[in-house]
Every structure is written in C-alpha cells, then in structure tokens.
Chain A
Amino acid sequence: MSPRNRELLFLLPAVLVTTIGFATIYIREAERLEWASLSYGGIFLGLFGLVHVAERFLASQADPYLLPITALLSSLGIMMIYRLNPDLALQQAVWLLVGLGVFVFVLIVARPLARLASYKYLLGLAGIGLLLFTVLFGREVYGARLWVRVAGIGFQPPEFAKLFLVVFFAAYLADVRELLAVSTRRILGIAFPPLKYLGPLLALWGLALALMIFLRDLGTSLLFFGALLALMYVATSRLLYVVVGTGLFAGGATVLYQLFPHVQRRVDVWLDPWADVQDAGYQIVQSLFALAEGGLTGRGLGQGFLITPSGRTLIPALETDFIFSAIGEELGLAGAVGIVLLFFIFVWRGLRIALASSDDFVRLLSAGLTAIFGLQAFLILGGVIKLIPLTGITLPFVSYGGSSIVANFALLALLLRASHEATRQEEARLEAAVRGPAPENPVVVGPPAGGLRGLRTEGRGT
C-alpha cells in the first residue's frame, strides 16, 4: 500500500472517534448545544482529507502515520474544548483551519528543504527578533510574559521562535558538525572543539536563554535547552555536550530559582502542593483530583465535574495548559495513556525520519523538530500529573491556542517534507545501486529479499 493510501486508512479511526465523541457530548449537554454539532466531526475530518490530498501532490512519499496522529490529537483536543466551552471550540476550529492552511503553505515553500538552510541566519535572527518582541510588548499571563496582541489577536511568538531557532541550529550544525566533533584543544584534560565554531552557537544559545529569563518562562527555556542539547548530541555523537549542557542548565536553573520567587514557588508547589491547596497548590491539586476522578475508564465525555455551576472551569487554564487533566477525568487512564502513546508514536516516527535522511541538514532538522515537539509534550504532561514541576506551555495540537496550533502544523509540514525527501533520496540511491555503482556515488547496497516496495515505505529500517 502506498504511504498516502495507508494515511487515508489511518485517518478513518480519527473520523470515528470524532463523530462518536461529538455525539456523546451532544447527548449529554443537549440543552446547551446545537444539533449542528453532530456534523462537526465530519467537517473537521473533511479538512484533514483536503490536506491529505494536498500532501499527495507536495509530499507523496512522506510518513503515513504522522497526519492521522495529528488528526486524532486535534480532534480529541477540540472535542474537549467544545465540551468545556463551545465558543472557544469555534475559535479553535478557526485556528485549526489556519493551521492546515499554514501546513499546505509550508509544504509548498519548503521545497526542497535545503532552501531553508540557505536562509539560516535570517531565520535565526527572526527567531531572536520574535523573542525580543515578546520581551518588549508581551503581557503577563499566569506569571509568564508570553502573550503579544497584534491587531486585536493575541499570539505567543515563542511558539514560532522555537521553529525558526531549530531550523537555524540544524542548518548551522549541519555545516560545522564535523569540525565540532574534532577536538583541537584540551582544557583541564577535556578535549574541546575550536571555539570559533562553538562561538555563534553559544552566543545564540545564551541570547535565547537570557530572553527566556526576561520572559520569566521556565517551560519554554527548558524546551530550547533540551532541543539544542539533543541536536548537538545527534550532530556530534559526543555525550560531552549533553553533560556540559545539563551542567549549564542546572547552574542556570539554580540561579533562576534563587532570583525569581516565581520559579521558587513553582518548584515548592511541585514538591508539596498539599501545603496550600486553596491557593498556590490549587491548580495542581485540582488536576490530581480530576485524574483520580477519572480512574481507569473515566467518567465519560461531558460527565466530569469540570465546569462549576457558575459556568467557570474548576481548574484555571483548563482549556490550555490543563486540557490533559480534563481528558484524564472524562476518558480515564485508558484515554490518558492513549494520548501519551500517540505522542510517543509521533516522536518515534519523527526520529525514524531523521534516521532515514541521508542529508545532514534534513536529518538534524527532523531530529530537532521531533525533540522539541516531544519535549514540549513531556513537560506539560509531566507538569499536570505532578511528575515534574509545572511549566505553562501548551500540549501540542490538543490545547486551546492559535499560536500553538499553527506553529505545530508548520512543524508537522517540515517533518513530512523531510520524510518525503528522505524516502526520495533512498529510492534514488537504491535505483542507482540496482543499475550498478555510479562512479561519482559509490554506494553498494543490495536490495533485500522483500524487494524495493517494502523498503520504500519503511525507509532504511535501521
């Protein structure tokens, strides 16, 4: 089966889940909702169908699982938002539409991906600019300054900055990775690469971090750090970077903890939310109550205690940062683990794309995008279930929030494009191998017994 037909097949479960979900919410909340809501599932997936068709033209050989996973995550998200606040769900639907538009747009312009690499400094500067812009004009929400209002629409520039910066780092590292991997001098017995190549990297890293400190947002800075460490490690295969980077971060975090009561409070609440269940610990404690209420199979869609009779959500930021708690209550451990697994499959497919790529930039880009995506999911999921301190970031594709949705669809487009190019390169290589070794590219790979078709869809299979 071709990747696109496979993708279409896997979109079907998402159609089913969305239709059943909306019908359940409608039956439960019939007084509040309209009959039209029953068609939302169909409309929603019609849109994914259109994007799927666009993909057939723009990235026909791309991974078939990522779009269905995204569709499932977004449909679970919009269903939950709809159940909590139908008005917000309508806005989320608009953002989804914009996100799918941006997805197609990115597929068109990022052709071939190498084009992005040539704009790396421009993109890096754009990323920094976005962060700077946020520092200057941002508004504080829940202690972090992430929101900027432009023409009446609020958005979160860091969501986009993370994409630009990952593209920059991937491109830059692709250029200098060999030089970085070679150590030229030893300091205290540890071999270090030439500072010349490390310099710009460290500068940008430090700048991004400094901005993060000004934005007072622990979660986003942790994301950048983590994604960059992952990229450095993948690019150089040297664990030294991970060790030094983690040390740097630990030092930075300690300083942050000492300097900012905001950060201190977050950590204290994580260590013991029960000390102040009515105020500081309220959000996380209520999140745990919601999860406990859900138990194994959940209370059922629309049947949790998520909305107080006065119409407010029981947990502040329930539609955004805490959407997973709502899912945990209404869909139970089964639904919650399902979401976790969907994110893990996403990460697995993303890293497979990186493995399959023969181009350094494409490989690093897909690894970086996957890492930042996976980390973001882990940080917020771990935060709301009290595995790690809570940081205010969105759950990709699930949380309410235009910037998050749009940025993550752009991320998905880049990944799928990378996947398409990786498969194409592989095919070209295999064809060359079948025809006989080409003098300028002496790769000898014999086709396995399964034949070429299997290889095409499965990538290199390492």
Chain B
Amino acid sequence: MERPLKRLLYFFAVLFLALIVQLSYVQVYAASDLKNHAANTRALDAQMRIERGVITAADGTVVAQNRQEGGYFLREYPLGELLAPWLGYNSLRYGRSGVERVYNPELTGETDELTARSLLDILTDKPKRGADLQLTVDLAVQRAAVEGLGERKGAVVALDPRTGQVLAMASWPRYDPNQLDERWEELNQDADRPLLNRALQGLYPPGSSFKPVVAAAALAEGLFTPESTFTDEGRYVAGGFPVTNYGGNTYGEHDLTTALAKSINTTFAKIGVALDEQLLAYARAFGFEKELPLPLESAVSKLPEPSQIDTAHLAQIAFGQGQLLATPFQMALVASGIANGGRVMNPYIVEQVTDFHGSVIEQAQPSVWLTPVSPSVAGQVAEMMVQVVERGTGTQAALPGVRVAGKTGTAEVGEGGDHAWFIGFAPADDPRVAVAVLVENAGGGGSVAAPVARAVLEAGLAR
C-alpha cells in the first residue's frame, strides 16, 4: 500500500501547488486589473468612510460639511453655488476640483503631520477625522461679486493688496456642487463650460485695463512723467498698422495722466513703441507668463512670442490687444501690485488648517511674490488711476467719500462683442481692497464692469 499512498501525497502536492499558483495570479499578477475593475467599489468605499474636514469662510461660517448616512459621509455645501469657484466639488463618481482637490490630503487626514497624529489617536481611542480648513473668503465681498456679475458670463476677483488674501472669486455660468452627480452630463456638455472657474482659468485680451502696466513701465524707465505731454490726432500709424481711439475720438494735446484717464490708445501705442521690449519685461514683472502662486487650477497669462514682436505688435500690446491674454486673477494682481506700493503679494485662499484637536497645523503667512516697480512709481500710477475714476472712463466706479483708483478696459474680440473690464482698488491712499471685473461680450468697461467693481469695493471696504 506504500506506492499508492505516496502517489496520493504527490497528487495532493499538485493540487495545493495549483492553489498557490492561482493565488499568486489573483493577488499579484492580476491584482491591479481587479482593483481597477469597474465593478470594484472598494476605492470609492474607502473614500466614503472618511470624515472629511469641515471648510469655513473667514468669518467661521461653515461652507462645506458632512452628512452621515449609514457609515458613509456625504459632502454638503450649505451655501450652494456661491462658493463653487473656491470649493470645487468632491464627487465619488467624477473626482474632485478646487479646494476639495488641492487640500484633499489635509481634508482626509493623509498628510504626514496628520498621520503622525492619527497614530496617536488610535492609541488614545480617538476616531479618525480630516483637518478643517478656514478659507480667506469674505462672504459679504463674495456675495457682492456674485450678485454684481449676475447672470452674465465673466468673472470677478477681489483681494486684500496688503496681504494677498483673496476675498472673493466669482465666475458665471456657475454650478451647484451639491448637485454635481445628478447634473454632470449636462454641465460637462454645456458649451458655456459652467465647470470652468473663469477667474483663474479664463484667458481674455485685457484691453485698456493693461494700460496701468504700460504707464508704470514708462515711469519706471524714466521715459515719461505723469505730466509728459502728447498730441492725439485720432490716428497713429505704427509699423504700417493704424491705431485709433475707442469710439473714434480725437483728444488733441494732453498729458500722460489724461491719456490714462481717457484711455487714449494712440498715446499708449507711442509709449509702447518707445518702451520696445521693456514693455514685455514689465508685463512679466507683474506676473504675465508666470504660474500663479496659487494651488488651484489656473491658466498662465500670455504675451506674444518675442520673435513676433515688431513695432505694430508693440503698439497693439500697449493698449491690451495683440496676442496679449490675461486671466481676471492676473489683472487683480496688477491692481493690487500698484495699490501695495509696487509689491505684488503672494495670493492665498486658505487662512489656516486646523487638525481634529483644534491645533493649527498650517497658518497663512503673507509674503511678497513680485516687485515690478518702486513705491514712488506705484504711487504715481495710483494717482493717475484715481483720475480715471474722478474724471475719466471709470466714473461709475466712484464711491462717496472714498478715493477710488481704477482702470477700465474694453477689449475687442473677433465676434460676439467687446469684453468689459475694470481693475481698481480703494482707498487710493491706503488700499484695503483690490478688484478685477470681467464681463464677456458685454460692451464698455466703464458702463458694464465699473459698477460691479464699485459694489465689490464697497463691500470690501466695509470689512
């Protein structure tokens, strides 16, 4: 009976070896395919079990919280559409965007500092929870921006020029992050792209709202002073291309301050030609062609290729046309750089990150991002911009009892009508809020964008 017993043992050896081979196949070789299989809900499941941190506005109002259903945590946004450009969304099916995406490690408690702490929590019997975020958003300013923009395509950005603290970001068309899953198809197929945050991701020709950069460059280079005089004949030919003024106006003899106040294209074209390549250098110094120092998804504001620059191009760029493209956020940084004595602060959207125990693990520290011009140049440009609001194209941005500085822009686009721009800040002598407003295909900056900016500045000054 010995041979059959031995054969029986070999038979079992083969059976159990087959088990080990199949196990290795399933657990190692095929594992990643199985993990990514559409029917495998484990990854989603893991995400849904995490109690994400709560997000609050600057005043402590809760703007993103959790609702518990069974053992799952579902995300809720009490203010609905209002903060969509900030928060983004957190969808189990469609992923994340905005703060929910960028701060996901903190919100889920997966950063290094937080894991160290959760190990302690395990030992001390504490349930796991993500860290809380306090945004820099001022809800009054945000509401002014959203309501001012209304149901017009465009974007509004407001920040504190002294610190870089972002106060408001609005974008329309917008969406309600509470209903993202239900409306995903519709939102995603909409040609107007409501999921896009136009404040950071929209690229537009800045038009005349770019002129403060040109003025600052001219002053800083010592080519002109605010009192330098120019003569406008309604038409200026640069490199074979004629430049005319908005509305076909002719202004005659005037100084640089008036050129900015009345937004005289021919004069700025001449300055641009005089600045030559320095014009582009100053645009870069204000943040063009640079990644915005913000963690959110953003577009880089564009300048033309250096090889394409000729006299005609320089003239066009000088009044914000040509191949110049800027995000509304970038233009808000231009305004706040001039407001803050020539120092562009690093913008930030999160004031602090607090862990489950209430201790602060990350606190925003204001810091300088760029220094394009000196305080005296910035002061001169600011004074010129006050004239824009007091006696120029931007009178509709004026606030009673406050000196408002600003610049309108009416950018020509191929079709669909001009984009209306306004950038500015207030109070001009000690700026506490800077703003950029863009309304797509809406007409003149002075009539369309300036009133929105006024409402936002007013809310910002009431802080």
Q: Which residues of B contact A378 (CB under 8 A)?
A: 12, 15-16, 19
Q: Choose one: A233, A305, A333, A343; the contact of B24 (CB below 8 Å).
A: A333
- Asked whether, in the complex, the Cβ of B9 is within 8 Å of the Cβ of A348, the reply is yes
Q: How does the 8 Å CB contact mask read for B1-12 relative to A, with 1 for contact and 0 for none?
A: 111111111001
Instruction: Determine how close the nearest CB of chain A comes to the CB of B196; give it in whole angstroms.
Output: 35
Q: Report if A427 contacts B (CB, 8 A).
A: no
- In the bound complex, residues from chain A placing their C-beta under 8 Å from that of B37 are 289
Please, how many angstroms separate the alpha-carbon atoms of A294 and B31 in the complex? 9
Which residues of chain B have C-beta atoms less than 8 A from A250's C-beta?
none
| CB of A126 closer than 8 Å to a CB of B | no
Whether a CB of chain A sits under 8 angstroms from the CB of B49 is yes
Q: Which chain B residue has the least Cβ–Cβ distance from A371?
A: B8
Contact residues in A for B49 (Cβ distance below 8 Å): 309
Q: Which residue on A lies nearest to B29, using beta carbons?
A: A292
User: Is A285's CB under 8 angstroms from B8's CB?
Assistant: no
> Quick check: is A280 within 8 A (CB to CB) of the other chain?
no
**Known A295-B27, A344-B16: A387·B46 in contact at CB below 8 Å:** no
Q: Complex formed: what's the CA distance from A292 to B42 in Å? A: 11
- Chain B nearest CB: distance from A84 CB in Å? 15
Within 8 Å by CB of B125, from A30, A332, A337, lies A30
Q: Is B183 an interface residue (CB 8 A)?
A: no
Q: Are A385 and B23 in contact (CB under 8 A)?
A: yes
Bound together, the chains give a CA A351 to CA B1 distance in angstroms of 11
The verdict on B35 contacting chain A, using a C-beta distance below 8 Å, is yes
Q: Does A244 contact B (CB under 8 A)?
A: no
Query: Which residues of the other chain, B, contact A360 by a CB distance below 8 angstroms?
Result: 1
A389 to chain B, nearest CB (A): 13
* A357, closest chain B residue (CB): B1
Which listed residue, A28, A332, A351, touches B9 by the CB 8 Å rule? A351
Q: Does B462 contact A (CB under 8 A)?
A: no
List chain A residues, Cβ under 8 A from B31.
291-293, 295
Is B191 an interface residue when CB atoms closer than 8 A count as contact? no
Q: Is A296 an interface residue (CB 8 A)?
A: yes
Residue on B with the closest CB to A381?
B19
Question: What is the distance, in angstroms, from A120's C-beta to the closest C-beta of chain B?
Answer: 19
Contact with B along A325-359 (1 / 0, CB 8 A): 00010001100110011011001100100110000
Q: A289-B42, A351-B5 are in contact. Are A295 and B28 (CB under 8 A)?
A: yes
Is A31 in the interface zone, CB < 8 Å from B? yes
Q: Would you give the 0/1 interface string for A98-111, flagging 1 where the beta carbon is closer than 8 Å to chain B? A: 00000000000000
CB contacts (< 8 Å) of A233 on chain B: these are 4, 7-8
Are B30 and A386 neighbours in the complex by a CB distance under 8 Å? no
A window 354-383: CB within 8 A of B: 354-355, 360, 363, 367, 371, 374, 378, 381-382
Contact A309 B2 (CB under 8 A): no
A367 to B6, CA, bound (A): 11
Contact in complex: B4, A234 (CB < 8 Å): yes
A317 within 8 A of B: no
Total interface residues on B, using CB and 8 Å? 43
Partner of B35, one of A292, A296, A351, A371: A292
A35 to B: closest C-beta gap in Å:
11
In terms of DSSP, what is the predominant structure of the interface of chain A?
Answer: helix
Q: Is the Cβ of B1 less than 8 Å from the Cβ of A374?
A: no
Shortest Cβ distance from B258 into chain A, in angstroms?
A: 69
CA distance A343 to B23 in the complex (A): 15
Question: Considering the chains assembled together, what is the distance between the CA atoms of A278 and B40 in angstroms?
Answer: 11
Contacts of A386 in B (CB 8 A): 22, 26
Q: Which residue on B lies nearest to A360, using beta carbons?
A: B1
Bitwise, A430-444 to B at CB < 8 A (1) or not (0) is 000000000000000
A230 part of interface (Cβ distance < 8 Å):
yes
Q: Are B5 and A367 in contact, CB atoms less than 8 angstroms apart?
A: yes
Given contacts A296-B28, A309-B49, A351-B9, contact A363 B34 (CB under 8 A): no
CB interface residues, A 190-249, toward B, < 8 Å: 230, 233-235, 237
B18, B33, B122: the one contacting A27 at CB < 8 Å is B122
Partner of A374 from B6, B12, B23, B24 at Cβ < 8 Å = B12
Contact B22 A382 (CB under 8 A): yes
CA A385 to CA B25, docked complex, whole Å: 10
Q: Which residues of B contact A341 (CB under 8 A)?
A: 16
Residue contact A385 to B9, C-beta cutoff 8 Å: no
CB distance from B351 to the nearest CB of A (A): 33
B19 touches A385 (CB 8 A): yes
Chain A residues within 8 Å of B127, by CB = 31
Q: Knowing A305-B42, A309-B72, A354-B5 are in contact, say whether A291-B23 is a contact too (CB < 8 A).
A: yes
| Pair A344/B13 contact, Cβ less than 8 Å | yes
Task: Check B27–A328 contact: CB distance below 8 A.
Answer: yes
Cα A161 to Cα B121 with chains together (Å): 51
Instruction: Give the docked Cα–Cα distance between A28 and B123 (Å).
Output: 9
Asked if A292 and B27 make an inter-chain contact with CB atoms under 8 angstroms apart, the answer reads yes
**Residues A367 and B19 in contact in the complex (CB < 8 Å), given A292-B34, A333-B28, A386-B26:** no
Are A382 and B27 interface neighbours, CB within 8 A?
Answer: no
Interface check A277, CB cutoff 8 A: yes
> Which chain B residues in 419-435 approach chain A with CB under 8 Å?
none
Judge if B400 is at the interface, Cβ distance under 8 Å: no
> Which residues on the B side are within 8 Å of A237 (C-beta)?
1, 3-4
A292 touching B8 by the CB < 8 A rule?
A: no
Interface centre among B3, B23, B24, B49 (most CB of A within 10 A): B23
Closest to B13 in A: A344
Within 8 Å by CB of B8, from A332, A337, A351, lies A351
The residue in B27, B35, B122 that gathers the most chain A C-beta atoms within 10 A of its C-beta is: B27
Query: Contact at B27–A294, with CB atoms within 8 Å?
Result: yes
CB distance from A366 to the nearest CB of B (A): 10
Closest beta carbon of chain A to B128's beta carbon, Å: 11
Chain B: minimal CB distance from A370 (Å): 8
Task: Decide if B2 touches A296 in the complex (CB within 8 Å).
Answer: no
**A260 CB to nearest B CB, Å:** 26
Q: Which residues of A contact B18 (CB under 8 A)?
A: 382, 387
- Distance from B249 Cβ to chain A, minimum over Cβ atoms (Å): 68
Please give me the residue from chain B that is nearest to A348 by CB atom. B9
Chain A residues with CB under 8 A of B12: 344, 347-348, 351, 374, 378
With a cutoff of 8 Å between Cβ atoms, the chain B residues found around residue A367 in the complex are 5, 8
Selected from B5, B13, B40, B71, the residue in CB contact (under 8 A) with A289 is B40
B247 at the interface (CB under 8 A from A): no
- The answer to whether A333 and B27 have CB atoms under 8 Å apart is yes
Distance between Cα atoms of A344 and B15 in the complex (Å): 9
6 pairs, CB–CB < 8 Å, chain A vs chain B? A285-B39, A288-B26, A292-B35, A309-B71, A355-B6, A378-B12
Query: What would 17 more interface pairs be, CB under 8 Å, given A308-B45, A340-B16?
Result: A233-B7, A237-B1, A277-B39, A289-B34, A291-B34, A292-B31, A292-B34, A292-B40, A293-B31, A294-B27, A295-B31, A305-B46, A308-B71, A310-B70, A328-B23, A347-B16, A385-B23
Please list the residues of chain A having a beta carbon within 8 angstroms of any beta carbon in chain B: 27-28, 30-31, 230, 233-235, 237, 277-278, 285, 288-289, 291-296, 305, 308-311, 328, 332-333, 336-337, 340-341, 343-344, 347-348, 351, 354-355, 360, 363, 367, 371, 374, 378, 381-382, 385-387, 462
Give chain B's interface residues, CB within 8 Å of chain A.
Answer: 1-9, 12-13, 15-16, 18-20, 22-24, 26-28, 30-35, 37, 39-40, 42, 45-46, 48-49, 70-72, 122-123, 125, 127
Cβ-closest 7 pairs across A and B: A309-B71, A292-B34, A277-B39, A292-B31, A333-B27, A387-B22, A309-B70
